[in-house]
Amino acid sequence: MSLMYGKEKNVDHEFDQADVGFLTFFSRLPPKRADTIRLFDRRDFFSAHGADAQYIAAHVFHTQSVIKHLGSAAKGGLPSVTLSNNVATAFLRDALTARQLRVEIWAPEPGQGKKTAKFRLEKEASPGNLQAVEDLLFVNTDLLSAPIIMAVKIGMSPTFGLSLRYFMNKLRISSAYDSGIPPTGPASTSTSKTKTVGVAFADTSVREIGVSEFIDSDLFSNVESLIIQLSVKEAVIPMSSKSGNTDRDIELNKLKGVLERCGVVISERKQSEFTAKNIDQDLARLLLESTSNVDATASIPELASPTSPTSSAVSALLSYLALLGDSSNHNAYTLRTHDLSQYMKLDASALRALGLVGDGTTSEKNTTLHGLLNKCKTAQGTRLLGSWLKQPLVNLHEIQKRQDLDDYLRMMPDMHRISKRFQRSVASLEDVVRVYQAAQKLSGLVEALNSVETENVEYTRLIEEIYLSKLKEHSINLEKYSEMVEQTLDLDELSSHNFVIKPDYDDRLRELAGKLMEVRDGLDTEHRSVGRELGLELDKKLHLENSQLYGHCFRLTKADAKVINNNKNFTELGTNKSGVYFTTKKLKGLSIDYQEITETYTKTQSGLVKEIVNIAATYTPVLEALDNQIAHLDVIVSFAHVSVNAPEAYVRPKLIPKGEGDLILKEARHPLLEVQDDISFIPNDVQMIKGESEFQIIRTSTYDGFGLAWAISEHIALHIHAFCLFATHFHELTALDQQLTHVKNLHVVAHVTKTGESTQDRDITLLYKVEPGKSYDCVCDQSFGIHVAELANFPEDVVKLAKRKADELEDFGGEHEETPAHSKELTEEGSKIVEEMLHLWASRCASSTENGEDIMDDDDVDKEIAILRDCVESYRDRIDGNPWVQSLLTTL
C-alpha cells in the first residue's frame, strides 16, 4: 500500500526488466495485417512495439521522444512506447471507431511473476466487431457511432437480354445519324448474367441482425448505397481463388474497390463459411422468443432458400461474430430487412460533396451537416441523426411526420448499452441507478410535452401519438423498477458517488456501515485540524479529496503549497496542474481503513447486487423501447433548435406525392455556407417544372463525344422524364430545346466591367448565379475563357484568333442563329480575291535552297512581309470593293 502514497511508479524501469526474454518472444510472433495494432497488457500499463510504437508516438503523443529502444543499441533496438491505462483505453476507442483499425490485446501468460516475457492473445476487435472490448472501452463513455458489420455474397444467374455492346451500338448509331455519318456494324443481343447480391448485417451493440437482397450492376452501385445508408464499418467477403483470375475473383476485386473507396475494413473468410447450414435453427436460438416463434426463414423471402446469397451471407456473419458461442446472445437479437428503395440513394462521392458527415478524426461542428444539426443530448440521438442523414426518406407521409414534429417542438442514458450489460450480467449498481434516474425524469418529460399549447389540432394529435402515449406507458412499466431501487439501494450515498445496498439488508453490512461512518468522521476531524494548523480555509483553500491514485489526501494550489514546505508533519505525494497533493500520518491510516472497509462492503453485498441486476435485466424490452423514443425525440428537438436559431430562417418545404409536382427552390444554399466565418455567397433559385423544364443543360464548349452525350440526354428527356441537371461543355446540346419543349438551357452569370479603352482594361466577376438562356445570350458573349485571356494580357492577335475559332466551333445553328452578314456571292468573290493575292505573293517570294532544304534568315522574313504588303496594295481597289475581305483582314 505504500506505493499509493509515493511518487508515480517508473513504468519504464518496470518495462525494462523483461527486455531480453520479451525480444525473443516478440520476434517469433506471427505476422499481422498493416491495419492491425498490437498492444501488450503489462497489468499497470500497456506497451506497443515496432511499427505500432511509431504509429502511436505520431498519432497519440505527437512526438518521437516517447520512443524507447529495447535490446542491443548496436542493432538499433526495438522501438517501444508505454501507455497508461487511461491513454490506452482512449487510443483503442479512437482506433476502432474513427481510424478504422483492428486491435489485438495480448495479456501475460499466467505464472510468470513480475518478469512477463510471454504473452497470449486475449482479445481481438475490429471496427465492426467490438464485442470483446465493449466493456473495456465503453463503460463510462457513450458509443456515438454504431459498429455495423456486414457479410456480402454475390450470386450470378444467366439472363437472356440486351448486352452492353448492343446498348453502346444503339448510342453510337444515334450519334452517327445526328452528325450525318452513316452507322456501321451490327447490333446484336447476347446471353448475360444477372448479379444478385445478398447482404447480412449486424449491430452487436443493440443486438440487431438485418438482411437485404438486390440486383446490382458491374459497378456495385447498390452495394455502395447500402454501405452509406447503414454506415458500415467492416465487411466480410469470400477469399479469392488461388489462381485469382476466375469470374468470381474479378467480381470480388470490383467489390473490394467499392469497399475501399467507402473506407470499409475488409475481412476475407474461407468460401466454406459462406455455405448456409442450419440457418433456421441458428436464428431461432439468437432471436427474441417473440420473434423466433415464427420461422424467420419462412417469414423473410431472402432467407427462404438455403442456397440464396443472403442465407450464405447470414451464415458467414454468424460464424465471424461467433454469436452462438456466447449464451448471453441467445433469445436476445431482433431480425429486420432493409429495403434500398425506401431511401434516397447516395454514394461515397455524394456523401463527401454534400458534406453530410465527417470522418470522425476532426471537428465537424461547422464543416458537416451532421455537426451543424447535432444538438442532441444523448448518444442514441447522435447515432440516429447520423442514420437519418445517410438514409433520406422518400416516403411523403414519413417526411411530413418529421416536419410536423419539428414545427412543434438531458439526462437520458444510452438504454440499449445498459440493457445489454444487464443481459450479460456485467452491469453494476451504477447502471441500475442511471436507469432509475432516467425513469424519474419521465413524468417531468410527459408533463412538459402536455403543457405546450398548440393552435394546430393535428400537431397535438401527432405529439400524443408519437410520444405521449408511449412515454406514459413506459413510465407505468418502470414504476415497479423504481420501487425496487428505492427499497434496496442507499440513495443518500449517491451524492458521494457511492453505489451501495442499504445496510438494513444484512447484519454484516450494518456493522461495516458503522465503521465507515467512524472513518468518515475521522477524516473530517483531520481535515479541520490541518486547516487550523496551516491557517487555511476549508474547501476553499484546503481540499480533502479521494484520489484514484493517492486515496484520501489533501490538495493545495501551487501558490498556497509553500505553507507545507520543510514541514515534517506533511508528506508530499505529487504535483499536477490541479495543485499539490499531500497527506499526514493520521490521514494515511484513515485512508487505508476506508479502502479496506469499502472493499469488504462491496464483497459482502455482491450477492445482493447480482440479484438486483438479474431483476433489472427483465426490464430490457421496456428500456430498449424507451431508448428508441428518447432518440427520436432528441433528434427532432435538435432539428427544431437548429431551425429556430439559424442565421437566416429555415423554411418548411411544401411536399407533394412523388411524380406529381415540380421542383422549385427559392434562394437555395447549403446550410453550412452561412455558418462559416468570412464567407459570402449568392443563393440560387431552381425551377424544374414538369413538362417545361425537366431537363436542364448548363454548358461550356468543346466537341469531343458530342454524339454520345446527345443520345443519352435525349433518351433521358424523351423517355425517362426524370428531373435532371446536365452540366456540359457541349454547346451543341443546347439545340435540344428546339426539339423537346421541356428542355431548358441555363448558364452561369458573369459580369464584365470596362475600366479603360483596351480589351485588357476590363474586370470579370463570376456571380455563381444560374439564369435561363444560353451562355452567348448573356453579357459575356460565349466564352469566359477569352475574357480571362484578355485580362491576363494575352497578345491581341492570339485573342482575335481564339474568337474566330470559337465562332466557327459554336456556329451550329438553332433559334439564335443570326442572318449571315454577307451574301453567298460576295463571300465567294472575296475568297477568289484572297486566293489570287496569296498565289501572287508566293510566286514573287524569292527563296534559296540548300541540299533540298529551305533556308531563311531574319532578313528573308522581313523581305517577304514587305512583298506581302505590296501584293495587298496591288489588290487594294478590289479589297475596298469587297466587305467580306475587309472584315476578314480586321480579324488578323
In this structure, what DSSP letter does residue 792 have?
T
**So what's the pLDDT on residue 249?**
86
Look at residue 848 and tell me whether its pLDDT is greater than 70. no
Q: For residue 335, what are the β-bridge partners?
A: 209
Q: Which CATH class is domain 663-810?
A: alpha beta
**So what's the pLDDT on residue 777?**
45
Average pLDDT over residues 801-814: 63
Alpha-carbon gap, residue 581 to 584, rounded angstroms: 11
Alpha-carbon gap, residue 432 to 604, rounded angstroms: 18
Length of the chain: 892
47 and 15 in contact (C-beta within 8 Å)?
A: yes
Q: Going by C-beta distance under 8 Å and a sequence separation of 6 or more, which residues neighbour residue 464?
A: none
Q: Identify the weakest region by mean pLDDT among 54-63, 204-213, 229-238, 848-857.
A: 848-857
Segment 76-86, tens digit of pLDDT: 788 999 999 88
Segment 94-115, tens digit of pLDDT: 888 888 899 999 998 887 766 7
Residue 223's pLDDT band (cuts 50, 70, 90): very high
297 and 303 in contact (C-beta within 8 Å)?
A: yes
Q: How many CB atoms lie within 10 A of CB 842?
A: 12
Alpha-carbon gap, residue 448 to 442, rounded angstroms: 10
Alpha-carbon gap, residue 539 to 471, rounded angstroms: 42
* Interhelix angle 824-844/858-874, nearest 10 degrees: 140
Alpha-carbon gap, residue 369 to 830, rounded angstroms: 64
**So what's the pLDDT on residue 693?**
61
Three cell numbers, residue 222: 447498390
**Which residue matches cell numbers 431482433?**
334
Average pLDDT over residues 564-579: 88
Q: Identify the weakest region by mean pLDDT among 170-174, 229-233, 882-886.
A: 170-174
Evaluate whether 355-478+619-644 and 663-810 have a shared fold: no
Output the CA angle 751-756-761, nearest 5 degrees.
60
Segment 658-701, tens digit of pLDDT: 777 788 888 888 887 777 766 777 788 888 777 666 556 555 44
**So what's the pLDDT on residue 431?**
86
Q: Which fold has domain 2-125?
A: MutS, DNA mismatch repair protein, domain I (3.40.1170)
Q: Going by C-beta distance under 8 Å and a sequence separation of 6 or more, which residues neighbour residue 786?
A: 799, 802, 803, 806
Look at residue 238 and tell me whether its pLDDT is greater than 60. yes
Average pLDDT over residues 822-848: 79
Three cell numbers, residue 636: 427532432
Give alpha helix (H) positions in 103-184.
Answer: 134-137, 164-179
Percent of the chain with pLDDT over 90: 16
- Euclidean distance between the first and the last CA atom of the chain, given in angstroms as a whole number: 97
Look at residue 786 and tell me whether its pLDDT is greater than 80. no
* Most confident of the ranges 323-327, 369-373, 579-583: 579-583
In this structure, what DSSP letter does residue 738 have?
G
Three cell numbers, residue 209: 441482425
Q: For residue 750, what are the β-bridge partners?
A: 766
**So what's the pLDDT on residue 9?**
40
Alpha-carbon gap, residue 836 to 121, rounded angstroms: 92
Q: What is the 3-state secondary structure of 454-493?
A: CCCHHHHHHHHHHHHHHHHHHHHHCHHHHHHHHHHECHHH
Buried b (16+ CB within 10 A) or exposed e, 537-575: eeeebbbbeeeeebbbbbbbeeeebeebeeeeebbebbe
Three cell numbers, residue 363: 471537428
Residue 154's pLDDT band (cuts 50, 70, 90): very high
Please report, for residues 135, 142, 370, 386, 641, the alpha-carbon distance to residue 380 in angstroms, rounded to integers and kept in the order given.
Answer: 18, 9, 14, 10, 18
In this structure, what DSSP letter does residue 806 have?
H
Average pLDDT over residues 389-417: 69
User: 498 by DSSP, 3-state: which?
Assistant: coil
563 and 536 in contact (C-beta within 8 Å)?
A: yes
Phi, psi dihedrals of residue 191, rounded to the nearest 5°: -85, 120
Alpha-carbon gap, residue 523 to 532, rounded angstroms: 14
Look at residue 19 and tell me whether its pLDDT is greater than 70. no
Average pLDDT over residues 636-651: 76
Q: Identify the weakest region by mean pLDDT among 158-167, 482-491, 541-550, 707-716.
A: 158-167
**Which residue matches cell numbers 497508461?**
84
Segment 312-338, tens digit of pLDDT: 999 999 999 988 888 888 888 889 899
**So what's the pLDDT on residue 652?**
83
Q: Going by C-beta distance under 8 Å and a sequence separation of 6 or more, which residues neighbour residue 166?
A: 187, 188, 189, 190
**So what's the pLDDT on residue 11?**
42
Q: Identify the weakest region by mean pLDDT among 178-187, 556-565, 652-661, 734-743.
A: 178-187
**So what's the pLDDT on residue 153?**
93
Look at residue 363 and tell me whether its pLDDT is greater than 70. no
Rg of the chain (C-alpha set):
38
Q: Going by C-beta distance under 8 Å and a sequence separation of 6 or more, which residues neighbour residue 812?
A: 731, 732, 735
Mean pLDDT across the chain = 78
Of the candidates 684, 637, 641, 692, which has an alpha carbon nearest to the alpha carbon of residue 665? Answer: 684
**Which residue matches cell numbers 443570326?**
818
Q: Going by C-beta distance under 8 Å and a sequence separation of 6 or more, which residues neighbour residue 550?
A: 4, 5, 573, 574, 581, 583
Alpha-carbon gap, residue 783 to 803, rounded angstroms: 9
Alpha-carbon gap, residue 837 to 815, rounded angstroms: 37
Alpha-carbon dihedral 306, 311, 314, 320, rounded to 10 degrees? 60
Q: Identify the weakest region by mean pLDDT among 195-209, 529-543, 794-808.
A: 794-808
Level-2 CATH architecture, domain 355-478+619-644:
Orthogonal Bundle (1.10)
Residue 296's pLDDT band (cuts 50, 70, 90): low
Look at residue 864 and tell me whether its pLDDT is greater than 90. no
**So what's the pLDDT on residue 192?**
55
The CATH classification of domain 148-342, taken from the options 3.30.565.60, 3.20.20.110, 3.90.230.10, 3.30.420.110: 3.30.420.110
Q: What is the 3-state secondary structure of 177-222?
A: HHHCCCCCCCCCCEEEEEEEEEEEEEECCCCEEEEEEEEECCCCHH
Q: Identify the weakest region by mean pLDDT among 33-47, 93-107, 434-448, 543-557.
A: 434-448
Alpha-carbon gap, residue 538 to 549, rounded angstroms: 22
* Interhelix angle 824-844/883-890, nearest 10 degrees: 60
Higher-confidence residue: 835 or 81?
81
Q: Is 139 exposed, middle or buried (0-12, 13-18, 19+ CB in 10 A)?
A: middle
Alpha-carbon gap, residue 302 to 296, rounded angstroms: 10
Alpha-carbon gap, residue 703 to 357, rounded angstroms: 38
191 and 174 in contact (C-beta within 8 Å)?
A: no
Q: Going by C-beta distance under 8 Å and a sequence separation of 6 or more, which residues neighbour residue 683?
A: 667, 668, 669
Q: Identify the weakest region by mean pLDDT among 451-460, 694-703, 739-748.
A: 694-703
Average pLDDT over residues 855-875: 75
Please report, for residues 588, 752, 789, the alpha-carbon distance to residue 592 in angstroms, rounded to integers and kept in the order given.
Answer: 6, 82, 83
14 and 44 in contact (C-beta within 8 Å)?
A: yes
Residue 53's pLDDT band (cuts 50, 70, 90): very high
Alpha-carbon gap, residue 321 to 313, rounded angstroms: 12
Q: Going by C-beta distance under 8 Å and a sequence separation of 6 or more, which residues neighbour residue 733?
A: 697, 699, 706, 709, 710, 713, 726
**So what's the pLDDT on residue 523?**
93
Q: Identify the weakest region by mean pLDDT among 217-231, 330-344, 856-870.
A: 856-870
Q: For residue 576, what are the β-bridge partners?
A: 579
Pairing of the two strands 543-547 and 334-337: unpaired
Of the candidates 654, 686, 612, 162, which has an alpha carbon nearest to the alpha carbon of residue 427? Answer: 612
Concatenated DSSP letters of 640-694: HHHHHT-SS---PPP---TTSS-EEEEEE--TTGGGSTT-----EEEEE-TTTSS
Segments making up each domain of the chain, as ranges: 2-125, 148-342, 355-478+619-644, 503-617, 663-810, 824-890
In this structure, what DSSP letter does residue 594 have?
H
The CATH classification of domain 503-617, taken from the options 1.20.1250.20, 1.10.1420.10, 3.40.190.10, 3.40.50.12780: 1.10.1420.10
